[in-house]
Structure 1
């Protein structure tokens, strides 16, 4: 089976190129709630303001929405060497079991690396922030302590 790389942008006739929001844009968009947030995500991905996006025809707005769904689709996530239970999905929520599995792997990797090398190693890993890594490792440590205490 050939490995397929995920696509990161879609060309929409009459609108231009649609891309998912970058980290900075996503941080700003998380502050919004409801329909306003969804519209802002679609508009920013198309490189527009919400006002410009709302001036598009309903058909073009629907095309932008289809592009957003295609980019966010689980089928668009690249096949990794890691098992599915430890793979972080972009902008995806992880279950407790997934966080535990990731935390265990990170603790093993940290133990195998020399002092001071874990941070740079973690930066090279794509799709996992430092805060999420710390959260997963803390959860794995707590689970291990609870298991030993029982």
Structure 2
């Protein structure tokens, strides 16, 4: 899983980065699916082999993120430091570490409007679904 998040970045760039990660995973023979975080990002999940350590999963996600940073360093960053992110999309591979957390599917966020994290389809991402598309007032349909 990789989290694509941003501060003051156009949503289209964030969604485009998630789609690029999808394509990178697909080229390695992995299917993936997106989940809106209900905030400013997209989680990109992909099933790996059945037996893999947390450290190996994090290392794989880090290498994937670093490949993307290498292609577009002006747009992407893997450093969690806010000063390093300045105008770039943070590729958060650290969610894969043992004991690290990520927002759960269908979880409301403590934000204005109470947006809800929810899995979506790649087709919805391609069509421009917004990160706060779902709220407590308009939850995702299952």
TM-score, normalised to structure 2, is 0.26
Q: Highest Rg: 1 or 2?
A: 1
Greater RCO structure (CA 8 Å; 6+ sep): 2
TM-score, normalised by the number of residues in structure 1: 0.25
